[in-house]
Amino acid sequence: MKFLAPIALLALCSAIVTPLMATEQTPELTGCAAKRQSISTQIEQAKAQGNAEQLAGLEKALSEVTTHCTDASLKKERENKVLDAKHEVSQRQADLDKAMKKGDPEKINKRKDKLAESRKELQQALEELDK
């Protein structure tokens, strides 16, 4: 009986550690590979839900990504999105400055909200750049 206890303990430890090691070894996908993986996941969800229209659209999107996506073009697209978002933030800041000079509290609050929204979009664009 004493012989079986260490074997059982070893089996239990290996059963716990194996999934942890497997998740550590899986590299994070980036670029077009990540985009393909995301669409594939959505395809599986659409199949599970029986949504034929969504499934058809996703399969077309996967085909387009597989055919046309390159990591360089995707990076360029994401960089352009960041530049557009920065430009939008600067325009919103100028609008807010203008409203503050006029002193209209309603316009100031509206411009602050729009500036906050633009900054949030910029942050999202910056996060996408690294994917």
pTM listed for this prediction: 0.63
Render pLDDT for 38-85 as a digit per residue (tens, 0 to 9).
999 999 999 999 999 999 999 999 999 999 999 898 899 999 999 999
pLDDT band at 9 (very low <50, low <70, confident <90, very high): very low
* Residue 130 CB contacts under 8 Å (≥ 6 apart), including other chains: 30
**What is the Cα–Cα distance from 26 to 37, expressed in whole angstroms?**
14
Looking at per-residue pLDDT, the higher value among 88 and 104 belongs to 88
